[in-house]
Amino acid sequence: MSNREIEDIAIRDDMIRLGQLLKLASLVEDGVEAAELIKNGLVKVNGEIDDRRGRQLHHGDTVSVNDRTVRISTPAGD
């Protein structure tokens, strides 16, 4: 098991949807690519495969695609 760095991604609001986060974090180029990765079970949220493109993510949630993991960060940190 490798020790991967987790990249913090700041968002303005207290929530972001999974498809939006994938684009914001440059894990995908567009919504079509996001939908395909999610549909094919290649996206993990908090360590578990998630197939909901509209899944709401909040401060502290992690998303992993391939070898990259990002963590949601909000200004308030709630």
Domains assigned to the chain = 6-73 (3.10.290.10)
Tens-place pLDDT, residues 20-29: 999 999 999 9
Number of alpha carbons in the 13 Å side-chain half-sphere of residue 43: 26
Closest to 45 (Cα-Cα) out of 59, 65, 28: 65
Task: Classify residue 33 as exposed, middle or buried by CB count within 10 Å of its CB (0-12, 13-18, 19+).
Answer: middle
Q: Is residue 2 scored above 70 in pLDDT?
A: no
Please give the share of the chain, as a percent, with pLDDT higher than 90: 85
Q: How confident is the model at residue 48 (pLDDT cuts 50, 70, 90)?
A: very high
Q: In the chain, where does DSSP find H-type helix?
A: 18-24, 31-39
Mean pLDDT of 43-52: 96
Instruction: Average the pLDDT over 34-61 and give the result.
Output: 96
